[in-house]
Structure 1
């Protein structure tokens, strides 16, 4: 088994590499190739415990995805994400359960609803990779990615409730709601606790290797402890990832530069393995199903087609209906907020009332409003419903969580889950890029807003930087003499022009000895690097303050931080090559 898993990993990564090279959706190609390979007689069956697969794959994938999601954008799109991640999963599970019970009553109603919980949550891996490649606007990417972070928690809670009923337990609706609320509260609390502790480690430890190792281990700990406390391990990992990702710019640049490629590699490895597993296991599922009677086989095939159709149809209906309801509800809410504001007689009275009953400002109202999605945007979101790892793993775990469930019914559910997963990957995965191109989904205002925000940040940075450089100029005159003032001014101008480190270093090497005063030491590279690092600290502080104030999009901020990290790396690298104290 160990050798077989190794071969699957190598083959899956190789196929994914070809897909990335050609610009094709990697999950889809990996699944199709694995499905074709599975029909080779020499290829053995690969069986992996579903619970084990969930525990090994979900924590790192969810944590990595949460790190990349903008917390600010996530919070602003939370109403849309909550509707899709909770209510759409519930509606899909109920609709699938009703259809499944009508077509195959032998499943029993709890078994039919269990099937609904299994196929309900979409996996954003395929959709997100397609969206990034085709440049979908942030408002769509945030909704798709954010939905995938919380819908697994809803699905797994439903799965456990219906599995418990199948196992003989009595669970009322009130108890089911209580389990869900407990899962949310405990999961988020555990995740935030782990997030705070991990962030403290990231801030206090200067060794990026040790910090990165803790980062690899902690998601498993948060997931396992939350599940042990009857909370949602999914929400624990997501909450931790969002918190750590939001605080990441305050850690050392070495930590950020080291952890990003590590997580990208882990994502590629795990995602490729899971989608390869989907393709490899489908023939085995078909073989198990074929052992039943002809009527059961036909019934299962009919059920698979019906469930796939329900999954494809429920999502667009819900997306358009829930968005219309959300916009109507938001319009009423904003109107009430503004009415309360205009009813206040003056600023003093407004402040007094605000102390007792908070009244949001116009800026706060705009921040609370969910992003507007055009009709084209909603069509894309409606069609981004490919299923993946959770559907596969929960289907494989039926025998473990519901041991008394009839074997034929379990085989039917597993077959339907595989058909829905592969069907959505093929139907939606192949057509989603065409749909995005045909609808020409883009956001011209997004680039304009980014440029405006960048101009404002640069203006404030130059203002803050001039104060920093003025203080440093006096310090340099005292240390190196007044003769070096002109030299410092040239360095200061190069910093404010945001030249590269190599350009500043070349400029720094011109005439340092000539500019120095007799009796004063000439500045060396360490002095120049210290000045540059101070300038970088000013820029980072301004960028973070603008992000926290809501004046700078978090994804734009991350691009700026990456550029600053590259500058600091160049400083350290050049300093190491020169010995750190050579003359500038």
Structure 2
């Protein structure tokens, strides 16, 4: 696999990207911007290898795992409940933005063919709401707004990449007309969903019947690539196939064992972190090369990019506001069932339209040449404009989104109500578990010593009371809730036990196998104690 220059260079890129992203997390700086700047600076240092990204490897090897990770963490039920607004954004807005940006770019850049301009439109059309939803949760946006942004981010990539394929075929000379292209778009979309539906059940069935978490997670790593390749083999949308399969697996994840879920969550967080960090760093490393071969004056290219960035931001407002209110005006029944929100809701959804790593990855998949062997029209300019649109929206909108949300009259997430609902759900579950426990302990084959029976009951009682305690019972000295104090004390006493096990191992009073077994028990207890905090 030669998607970059060599093994050593790949290791250096991944290590450097992880280091810069780690610094961004520690300092609170926007990671994408810091990664691009670090890559840009490193590109001018002597001795730094010249990184090249093969366009043919980007779509099949970079996008599937990123989309799979996003879909696993999405809510199938939330998407279904908000299908209309999500569909209007993930399909309608992408089509609208692709057309507007394509037409503006074609009129703005002399000699840029409409087909190549529409390729650019499809590349920059889909917002990446990962950063937006993280900010939305932090500032307390309503749950429905967060769900809509998540759903849009998940499905709009499929629409954009399918459009990109159609426009690209026309740009490289493989298309047969826009009418045929529209038909190809529909066939690819329907086919991608169909392939996903065919694969999701047997893949989940296979995972459930594997008893070894390592094997299950090995399969999990292969699934997005399998789904993508299977769909592309029949000329369907590989992106949609990946999304459909991952949504099903995420929705049914409770059917696999806990060890698999714990490992899978950690593995996919790591994969997503490394891929996103590496792609942003690669953009910075390659930007000097792109700028050096633009074929346009520096200020001319910056002017084109600035105009298209402004057009991209305005286009989102031009779509979101009518899409929010017009259906309710046309369908009074919809207005009665789902009353119109205040202007603040479409305003913040519009401002949350930052572009991200998917746009950058797709831009670098644009081929170097057309089917006739000539250079792809203004490829370097398209890459530069994509870079400016991504970084520009991250800076202009991403950095100001918290201030915008705080400044407008928008309902906030009710943390106390959410905790109350969580406590009620946990209470019902604990009551059912306690009933089941008493039933099991009443059987002769389940006889246990009294201390162990009491421990089982105490665990259930602790789990039921923990969420209620978060609603009150604040420690006058520390300001902590009783639940927070319990977690802190649990960490301290577990750390004391862990120190003893390390001492015993170092003194060779226990062997390493026993040491690891004892340490695993402590890790699981600590994870249990911390789970409420993570939620």
Length-normalised TM-score, structure 2:
0.78
Q: How far, CA to CA, are the matches of 2:523 and 2:353 in structure 1?
A: 45
Structure 1 distance, partners of 2:46, 2:409, is 45
**Greater C-alpha radius of gyration:** 1
Residue 472 (1) aligns with residue 436 (2): no
Counterpart of 1:164? 169
Aligned residue-pair number: 465
Instruction: Assess, with a 3 A threshold, how the Cα gap between structure 1 residues 248 and 166 changes in structure 2: closer, same or farther.
Output: same
Alpha carbons of structure 1 residues 472 and 170: separation in structure 2 relative to 1, 3 Å: closer
For the residues of structure 2 that align with 1:117 and 1:480, how far apart are their CA atoms? 65
Contact 2:58 2:364 in 1 (8 A): no
Alignment match, 2:353? 385
What is the CA distance between 1:90 and its match in structure 2? Answer: 1.1
Structure 1 residue 496 displacement after superposition: 4.8
**Residue 269 of structure 2 corresponds to residue 264 of structure 1:** yes
Quick check: 121-130 or 399-408, which moved more?
399-408
More deviation, 177-186/92-101:
177-186
Shift of 1:21: 1.7
Pick the structure with more helix per residue: 1
> What's the CA shift for 1:185?
1.8
Deviation at 1:241, TM superposition (A): 0.9
Instruction: Tell me what 2:254 maps to.
Output: 249
> Gaps (5+ residues) in structure 2?
465-519, 526-535
CA positional deviation for 1:334:
7.1
Report the counterpart of residue 505 of structure 2 in structure 1. Answer: none
Aligned to 1:180: 185
Structure 1 residue aligned with 2:304 = 303
Q: Which residue of 1 aligns with 2:504?
A: none
SS at match of 1:107: coil
Change (3 A) 1:207 1:92: same
Q: Distance in 2 between matches of 1:392 and 1:489?
A: 57
Query: CA 1:132–1:272 in structure 2 vs 1: closer, same or farther (change >3 Å)?
Result: farther
Shift of 1:488: 9.0
Partner of 1:202: 207
Paired position in structure 1 for 2:494 = none
Contact 1:188 1:236 in 2 (8 A): yes
Match of residue 275, structure 1, among 277, 280, 284: 280
CA distance in 2 between partners of 1:34 and 1:133 (Å) = 29
1:132-161 per-position Cα deviation (integer Å, ceiling 9, x unaligned): 554544323222222122212221222222
**CA shift digits 1:192-241 (9 cap, x unpaired):** 33322221122111110000000001110101111111111111111111
Distance apart, 1:448 and its partner CA: 1.1
Q: 1:59 aligns with which of 54, 57, 64?
A: 64
- What corresponds to 1:9 in structure 2? 14
Asked whether 1:317 is paired with 2:285, we answer no
Corresponding position of 2:55: 50
Which of 351, 355, 367 does residue 399 from structure 1 map onto? 367
Q: Are 2:76 and 2:247, in contact at CA under 8 Å, matched by a contact in 1?
A: yes
Cα offset, 1:388, TM superposition: 2.7
Answering whether residue 499 of structure 2 is matched by residue 498 of structure 1, we say: no
1:416-468 deviations in Å (ceiling 9; x for gaps): 22222222222223222333344486634464155235415523651x34542
Matches within 5 A, 1:154-553: 154-289=159-294, 292=295, 299-328=300-329, 331-333=332-334, 374-400=342-368, 402-404=370-372, 406=375, 409-439=378-408, 443-445=412-414, 447-452=416-421, 454-456=423-425, 458-459=427-428, 461-462=430-431, 464-465=432-433, 467-476=435-444, 494=458, 496-498=460-462
Q: Is the 8 A contact 1:25 1:130 kept in 2?
A: no
Asked if structure 1 preserves the Cα contact closer than 8 Å seen for 2:368 and 2:375, the reply is no
CA shift in 2, pair 1:467/1:426, >3 Å: closer
**Deviation per CA, 1:279-327, whole angstroms, max 9, x where unpaired?**
22211111001xx365xx6554332121111111111221122111244
Query: What secondary structure, in the 3-state scheme, does the structure 1 residue paired with 2:443 have?
Result: helix
Q: What is the aligned-residue RMSD (CA, Å)?
A: 3.1
Q: 1:328 to 1:461 in 2, by over 3 A?
A: farther
Question: Structure 1 residues 44 and 329 mapped into 2: Cα distance closer, same or farther (>3 Å)?
Answer: farther
Query: Which of 197-206 and 387-396 deviates more?
Result: 387-396
153-162 or 211-220, larger mean C-alpha shift:
153-162
Unaligned runs of 5+ in 1: 336-364, 501-568, 575-584
How far does residue 107 in structure 1 lie from its aligned partner after superposition? 0.8
Paired residues of 2:123 and 2:359 also in contact (CA < 8 A): yes
Contact 1:27 1:126 in 2 (8 A): no
Superposition deviation, residue 33 in structure 1: 2.2
Residue 38 of structure 2 corresponds to: 33
Structure 1 equivalent of residue 102 of structure 2: 97
Q: How does 1:114-133 map to 2 (within 5 A)?
A: 114-133=119-138
Whole-Å Cα distance in 2 between the matches of residues 303 and 449 of structure 1? 47
The residue number in structure 2 matching 1:534 is none
- In structure 2, distance between residues paired with 1:479 and 1:38: 66
Alignment check: 8 A CA contact 1:25 1:126 kept? no
